[in-house]
Structure 1
Amino acid sequence: MPAALSLVLAVGLTACGSDDAEPSGGTQTSDTSGSTDTDGDSAAVTVTREGDAFTPNGERVELGVDQTLVLTITADEAGELHVHSTPEQEIAYDAGTSEHEITIDRPGVVEVESHEPDVIVLQLEVR
């Protein structure tokens, strides 16, 4: 696995769970269209959907408790992402590019997934 992709995974994105992770400074970018930026107050991830394929695809991203995650979604068709936090969050998006913010208020691993198609897009490791 390329080192850049490993950094994205180490940043901490997971779904339907709870683990701890500290936000990191700097920018990590994977070989794919997905990228992750963290600056302490917020983190940013770019998600690309082309047909039934998502980038990133299951990578982990580290996020601090109550840190804002800004998701920029570029999609060739409308859809919905499910954030398996407590309470669960849903992010509806249209075709084109849109931006969405979420926060997680407790430590753990939280999966961000699409149900149609059934794909885990991100795993948020919240510390």
Structure 2
Amino acid sequence: MRLTARIIAVVAAICGIASIATACGNDVATEPSKSSDPVVVEINFSGDSVDPHGNQVDVPVGNSVELDVTADAAGEIHVHSDPEQSAAYGVGTTRISLGAFKVPGQYEVESHTLGKTIVTLEVQ
């Protein structure tokens, strides 16, 4: 009986360590966020300026992202995701939906018109 109890304890310990190692090293599939609310990023273009400029925005895995763009001139936003995304915006206010981000990582959102990084989406 004692040998059986020891074997069970050793197997349980090994399984626990394997679970932790797997969870820490997994960058392909992560448990999706339970929130259905999108992460909204407000972007303002004025002349040759954009606000925010280079900020990091945290996005839970599985959440969608929406860009609320206010601009004084038309342009285009590019997202370095897989697949890559591009969206045009016009004068005034435009809402751009980027969909859900299911893979952890950093995704740059750029203005090709200005050649500037607007934000980096930190999906985790």
Normalising by structure 2, what TM-score?
A: 0.68
Shift of 1:96: 0.5
Q: Please say if 1:92 is aligned against 2:88.
A: yes
- Whole-angstrom distance in 2 between the partners of 1:115 and 1:99: 18
Q: Which runs of 5+ in 1 are unaligned?
A: 1-17, 19-38
Counterpart of 1:54 (choices 50, 57, 68) is 50
Aligned amino acid, residue 90 of structure 2 = D
1:4-37 CA distance string (max 9 Å, x none)? xxxxxxxxxxxxxx9xxxxxxxxxxxxxxxxxxx
Match of 2:75 in 1: 79
- Whole-angstrom distance in 2 between the partners of 1:53 and 1:66: 31
Q: Please say if 1:110 is aligned against 2:107.
A: yes
- Whole-angstrom distance in 2 between the partners of 1:57 and 1:40: 27
- Whole-angstrom distance in 2 between the partners of 1:104 and 1:89: 12
Shift of 1:40: 6.0
1:41-86 CA distance string (max 9 Å, x none)? 3211110000110000010000022211111100000000000001
Match of 1:126 in 2: 123
Runs of 4+ more than 4 Å apart: none
Normalising by structure 1, what TM-score?
A: 0.67
Return the structure number with greater strand share.
1
Shift of 1:89: 0.3
Greater relative contact order (Cα < 8 A, sep 6+): 1
